[in-house]
Amino acid sequence: MCGIAVIGASGSGKTRTIARLLTRHAPAPDGESPEVSFVSLSVLSPAPLKFVGMATPTALGYEIERDRPA
């Protein structure tokens, strides 16, 4: 598995860039293309690492069992 992170200031075109990439390079619906998964995070700005760390498991589909301060 490999991944990519798109990081930039608010309004720098991150969402537009990803949307264009997905439009131009979408996997073919032939059943032979590799599975592609995407995760999107929405965090407060500025995004302290703690908030990114708290949002990531939820975006990946993991259920958070307890919430305690760091």
**CB-based contact 59:39 (threshold 8 Å):** yes
Q: Which two tokens stand for residue 42?
A: 């929405």
Please check the confidence at residue 60 and state whether its pLDDT lies above 80: yes
Tens of pLDDT along 12-53?
998 899 888 888 877 667 767 666 677 777 777 777 888 788
pTM: 0.48
Please check the confidence at residue 9 and state whether its pLDDT lies above 70: yes
Cα separation, 35 vs 26, in Å, equals 11
**pLDDT reported for residue 10:** 81
Find the length of the chain.
70
Cα separation, 66 vs 61, in Å, equals 15
Q: For the residues 51-66, what does the mean pLDDT come to?
A: 80
